[in-house]
Amino acid sequence: MTIEKRPFGETPEGQTVDQYIIGNGNGFAFRVTTYGATLLSVTVPNRSGATVEATLGFDSLDRYLIKHPFFGATVGRYANRIAGGTFSLSGKAITLPQNEGTTTLHGGPAGFNRRIWNGELFGGDGSAGVSFTRTSPDGEEGFPGNLAVKVVIYLTEDNELVFDYDATTDKPTAINLTNHAYWNLAGGGTILDHELTLHAEHYLPVDEASIPTGEILPVVGTPFDFREPKRVGKEIGSVGIGYDHCYVGRGPVQEDHAADDPVRHIARLVDHGSGRGMDVLTNQPGVQLYTGNKLEGVTDRSGTLSKHAALCLETQDFPNAVNEPTFPSAVLEPGQTYRRTTIHRFFFV
């Protein structure tokens, strides 16, 4: 494993920002930064060793300081959407800042992706990465409780990129953490010809504001059915501008990662043109499939992007679960520990 730390710039407030570069012996590498505990880059080889940049992002801090589509962000305190920017907790009404119409999206306008994290490198023969920590104070972006958070991102010699999340709180609070990486295993073009499998028999339909309606519907017989491998673009024209929906994970337990809350195989993404593939394993209850529907005209390190230039597989609790009593709870109580794991396992076809 190779490990390196470099400066990444300075915020307008004078805060120093670092970046970390970690690689394995197989040609895989990733970069992260203390600004937002953000995943900056993932380079992935093919069988012949030719590498591509498999995620969207920027190479300079200044681009992350302005508005962007959450490229590689650690998203919190609550990923995805909370309807009306409000919910009730312990008999009290909680009001959050709204940053997508009347919706609170990805923790609000100054969510975890806009904060400086403490970063600590670690590594050995089999894996290396960065442990990010911070305490989100009581009332930050309207959320109650002092929330102590740790996000560990590391790479293994088995070509696994792993995200571990841990958190504790001193008051009941809503929590839903994920990483917002945008993937394109071809390294360019669109993801419409990528082949996707989702181990999910149900999905959450949404309203015109992309808020789940509260229903949990079967995918069978609909364009949302990815239980068998299917081109992402095959039926995308039947779902408006594209997919932006949460799926209910029901994949097989992975015995090599068995634990009290074992990870399950939830998704497989394959680009047959390059021979690159990626499995996603998690103990999160759902995964948000977002097909880059609003990327047209956005720029990243590669230049101006097209619609569907990449897709996201955001493992997470259900969107707006704090307002839907039939959804699994997304509330963390004092004395509990929030623990989530997501593994991106790369392979060749």
Please name each of the domains of the chain with its CATH number.
2-348 (2.70.98.10)
pLDDT band at 288 (very low <50, low <70, confident <90, very high): very high
Strand partners, 247: 203, 287
Evaluate if residue 27 carries a pLDDT over 90: yes
Q: Residue 253: what pLDDT?
A: 62
Report d(CA 344, CA 279) in Å as an integer.
6
Report d(CA 46, CA 213) in Å as an integer.
41
Over the stretch 207-222, which tens digit does the pLDDT of each residue have?
Answer: 999 999 999 999 999 9
Taking Cα atoms as reference points, which of 128, 116, 112 lies closest to residue 33?
A: 116
Q: Could you tell me if residue 190 is left (phi over 0), alpha (psi between -120 and 50 degrees) or otherwise beta? A: beta
- 132, two tokens: 């990010």
Q: Which residue in the block uniquely carries the two structure tokens 């790479």?
A: 155
257 as an active site residue: the answer is no
- Among 106, 180, 199, 344, the active-site one is 180
Average pLDDT value for the chain:
96
Report d(CA 267, CA 264) in Å as an integer.
9
Tell me 63's DSSP state.
Answer: H
Residues 259, 222: contact at Cβ < 8 Å? no
Residues 215, 105: contact at Cβ < 8 Å? no
Q: Residue 254: what pLDDT?
A: 60
Report d(CA 67, CA 74) in Å as an integer.
15
Average pLDDT over residues 63-73: 97
Q: Residue 250: what pLDDT?
A: 74
Report d(CA 191, CA 306) in Å as an integer.
10
- Output 259 or 334, whichever has higher pLDDT: 334
- Among 195, 314, 324, 344, the active-site one is 314
Residues 171, 138: contact at Cβ < 8 Å? yes
Average pLDDT over residues 12-28: 97
Specify the pTM: 0.96
Q: Residue 260: what pLDDT?
A: 60
How far is CA 218 from each of CA 146, 214, 232, rounded to the nearest angstrom? 38, 13, 19
How far is CA 250 from each of CA 30, 115, 290, rounded to the nearest angstrom? 29, 33, 19
Q: Residue 272: what pLDDT?
A: 97
Q: Residue 262: what pLDDT?
A: 83
Over the stretch 243-266, which tens digit does the pLDDT of each residue have?
Answer: 999 999 876 666 555 456 789 999
Contact residues for 227 (Cβ-Cβ < 8 A; gap 6+) = 197, 198, 199, 200, 201, 219
Q: Residue 255: what pLDDT?
A: 56
Report d(CA 76, CA 99) in Å as an integer.
14
The whole-angstrom distance between residue 178's C-alpha and the CA centroid of its chain comes to: 4
**Residue 188 CB neighbours (<10 A):** 13
SS3 state of residue 64: helix
Report d(CA 244, CA 179) in Å as an integer.
15
Over the stretch 120-135, which tens digit does the pLDDT of each residue have?
Answer: 999 988 999 999 999 9
Report d(CA 104, CA 85) in Å as an integer.
5
Strands 118-123 and 127-136: antiparallel
Report d(CA 201, CA 197) in Å as an integer.
11
314 as an active site residue: the answer is yes
- 59, two tokens: 């190479």
How far is CA 156 from each of CA 18, 37, 274, rounded to the nearest angstrom? 22, 19, 22
- 92, two tokens: 């009290």
